[in-house]
Structure 1
Amino acid sequence: MTFQEITEVITNHFPQTKIDGDLKGPQPILILPSDAIADVCQFLHNDDRLFFDYLACITGIDNGPGLNTMELVYNLTSIPYGHDLMIKIVFPRNTECEPLPAVPTVSHIWRTADWHEREIFDLVGIHFEGHPDQRRILLPEDWEGHPLRKDYAAQDRYHGIYVKYEDGPRLAE
């Protein structure tokens, strides 16, 4: 099934779907509203014509305070049919005093999303609504901030250990 055929099946059920990029490019992307991601992914998984049974990865992107948006890119594969699909959602970024941006989880569709979403939560600071175990996966629970955010400022010390050095290593005080 070609990207155009897949797009036609999806847009018949979800007319708000848009295409990002050139259809003849190496990997065109479908853009969805963030609140529709779980419904569309469930459809992509369950529809017998598509059967996207493998979530290869989810990538979280912070476009910074200038654009004031964040993105999630989902790479899907149908192993039996041998076709791939990239879908993307774009949503507003939060400021320092606001709660983290939130999108619906897809961990109930693909179990591997559990780990991908936890990593994105930990490093990029996106909350996944409905996730069964939304907690840090790489950093300690009491770590401050999300290191892959464009405006992340590393703390100087963590439990007495120097985290960032400005002029080389420091001796313990």
Structure 2
Amino acid sequence: MSDDTTDDKTDANESARPVEERNLEKAKAETGAGSGVAQPAPEQSPENVPAPTGEVRAVGARHGMFGVSGTGDTSGYGGLVSATVFPAPSQKPYGGWFDEVAGALEARLEATELTSAIESVVVHRGEITFHVRREDLPFVAQMLRDDEALRFEFCSGVSGVHYPEDTGRELHAVYHLTSMTHNRRIRLEVTAPDSDPHLPSLVSIYPTLDWHERETYDMFGLIFDGHPALTRVLMPDDWPGHPQRKDYPLGGIPVEYKGGSIPPPDQRRSYN
């Protein structure tokens, strides 16, 4: 009888404690935090684990903290060297719904004899990216939008990337697609050489890309053929160059501060 009464009191005391306090103790018990046991972060967030050695492709190296040379690097970290690497193509099965999307896309491409439109598929950090041949980009995008098994109705944007040492593929365009029907997200990636920075516009398929393509043109110099009004959106119309390319000079303007003057970054003294 006394044991039952004790248990009832314990339960009542436990329920009277603040919810936040009980949740905190539960979390500590599950993770080992606060007890001298290290939190097993990789096990809890496997998508944040770096790619295993041997599953990357080197496309150059970055020198210095900000990638500049000469007197522009005032950080003192000019001696740093870091490799620029890409994840290698993945092999089937990709896992989960990735195989459903890849299978449906391959089936449509085989039916239209465009099996070479997808150059490679990369699954990295829990995300899937389809590398598409640039001349086939509109056809692939429309299939992804209209096919019943795919239904990627929304493209949230396109962004540019510049890899000066990725010879023949210096300029990359990355598209982020969302299927609201199936609650899925994928990426398309397309490349173009510096000598021919042209990509077909997808504004007719995804109207949301209107200003995104203009910004990518403005910042990286990618020319989207068929865009209804491909003009600069951030920089003045007569601005020379494309500011987010890696080969664009650091530049800047002098700044006055309490009677002193700070020169632009590319005119400051280097400390290395």
Could you say what secondary structure the match of 1:29 adopts?
strand
Residue in structure 1 matching 2:225, options 126, 129, 147: 129
Look up the match of 2:209. Answer: 113
Letter in 1 for 2:160: G
1:35 aligns to 2:135 (yes or no)? yes
Letter in 2 for 1:13: R
Q: Cα deviation per residue 1:92-141 (whole Å; 9 max; x = unaligned)?
A: 223xxxxx510000000111111110000000000000000100000000
The offset of 1:21, in angstroms, is 2.7
TM-score relative to the length of structure 1? 0.81
Q: Is the 8 A contact 1:21 1:29 kept in 2?
A: yes
Q: Is the 8 A contact 1:34 1:103 kept in 2?
A: yes
* Equivalent-residue separation in structure 2 for 1:144 and 1:121 (angstroms): 13
1:89 aligns to 2:190 (yes or no)? yes
Q: Is the 8 A contact 1:71 1:88 kept in 2?
A: yes
Could you say what secondary structure the match of 1:80 adopts?
coil
1:147 aligns to 2:243 (yes or no)? yes
* Equivalent-residue separation in structure 2 for 1:127 and 1:120 (angstroms): 9
TM-score relative to the length of structure 2? 0.53
Indicate the percent of aligned positions where both proteins have the same amino acid: 28
Matched positions, count: 156
* Equivalent-residue separation in structure 2 for 1:13 and 1:93 (angstroms): 31
* Equivalent-residue separation in structure 1 for 2:238 and 2:121 (angstroms): 38
* Equivalent-residue separation in structure 2 for 1:128 and 1:79 (angstroms): 26
Look up the match of 1:56. Answer: 156
* Equivalent-residue separation in structure 2 for 1:155 and 1:144 (angstroms): 13
* Long gaps (5+) in structure 1: 95-99, 158-162, 169-173
Letter in 1 for 2:166: L
CA distance 1:164–1:146, change in 2 (3 Å) = farther
Question: In proportion to residue count, which structure has more helix?
Answer: 2
The offset of 1:54, in angstroms, is 0.9
* Long gaps (5+) in structure 2: 1-95, 110-114, 254-262
1:67 aligns to 2:162 (yes or no)? no
Q: Is the 8 A contact 2:119 2:133 kept in 1?
A: no
CA distance 1:30–1:138, change in 2 (3 Å) = same
Determine which structure has more spread, i.e. the larger CA radius of gyration: 2
Letter in 2 for 1:45: R
